Amino acid sequence: MPELPEVETVRRGLLPVLEGQRIASAEVRRPDLRWPFPERMAERLAGARVETLARRSKYLLAGLDTGETLIIHLGMSGRLLIGAEVPGGFHHAPPLPGKHDHVILHVEAGPTITFNDARRFGAMDLWPTAAIENHRLLARLGPEPLGNGFNAEWLGARFAGRRTPVKAALLDQANVAGLGNIYVCEALWRAHLPPIALAGSLAAAEIERLVREVRAVLEDAIAAGGSSLRDYRRADGELGYFQHSFAVYGREGEPCRTPGCEGTVARIVQSGRSSFHCPICQRRG
């Protein structure tokens, strides 16, 4: 599933062709994805101007001049792809709608934005902008990891007394929004913390280091256009490149990339998910 860097990369790719533009028409080619689409979605989108294009956690938020916000979740395999003629030449000319092209937005300035989702775990919803933080998908989210609200004081308070493994605590979206399995594994490796360490056992210095490395790995991943493992593509259809920089994720049995470390990357299973780590340089004490 695309994590924060992938969704942020898609947002930045869509900004030049969608923010400030008016949706001439919308094609909704099926009644649902993961959940039913909102009633009359095509009619409610037609003629609306996209005033802002933001991201909250793993969700894209297109604020419309109609007073509603279009919420988009890519799910497991969702893609938002740009295609059509735009001023100055051709930009990713789109083919005829394919089997998995479920929603197509025709923008007045020329481009089309196609939501393609083979597995149909994605979602779209329309919600009053003034109450967007009350939407069921957004109401319990913690602070953005790249924002000022995410800091050592916040995370220390959330971790205090908790016997949950730190890996699970970081995946809890109420503690920090937008993190997934890939970047939690990478951040813990950078912070030299084992995924099984209890969240409540972390010292203040360890929490400060963890906050710093969470930010760093996300910034590095965004700069690389995210990670493409199976289905993820940027808005221009290109792959992300951060997967080539993984230190531990998916590297079971390979040498640790910490300079001077002689460890080998290992995999354990926590709550049904693979955790990749170096048993040597991520050992505490």
Predicted local distance difference test score (pLDDT) of residue 18: 94
Contacts (Cβ under 8 Å, ≥6 apart) of 49: 20, 21, 22, 23, 64, 65
Contacts (Cβ under 8 Å, ≥6 apart) of 104: 26, 27, 29, 97, 112, 113, 114, 115
pLDDT tens digit sequence for 47-66: 999 999 999 999 999 999 99
Predicted local distance difference test score (pLDDT) of residue 186: 96
CB–CB of 72/115 below 8 Å? yes
pLDDT tens digit sequence for 125-137: 999 999 999 999 9
Q: Helices 204-223 & 152-159, crossing angle to 10 degrees?
A: 120
Lowest mean pLDDT among 83-87, 89-93, 142-146, 201-205: 89-93
Distance CA 44, CA 98 (A): 24
- Indicate whether 200 pLDDT > 90: yes
- Indicate whether 259 pLDDT > 80: yes
Contacts (Cβ under 8 Å, ≥6 apart) of 215: 145, 146, 150
- Supply the residues annotated as catalytic: 2-3, 58, 273
pLDDT tens digit sequence for 224-247: 877 654 544 455 555 555 667 799
Contacts (Cβ under 8 Å, ≥6 apart) of 75: 1, 33, 34, 117, 119, 120, 121, 122, 123
- Indicate whether 93 pLDDT > 70: no
Predicted local distance difference test score (pLDDT) of residue 79: 86
Predicted local distance difference test score (pLDDT) of residue 122: 92
Radius of gyration of the chain (CA): 20
Predicted local distance difference test score (pLDDT) of residue 236: 53
Task: Give the chain's domains with CATH numbers.
Answer: 4-134 (3.20.190.10), 152-277 (1.10.8.50)
Predicted local distance difference test score (pLDDT) of residue 232: 47
Predicted local distance difference test score (pLDDT) of residue 119: 86
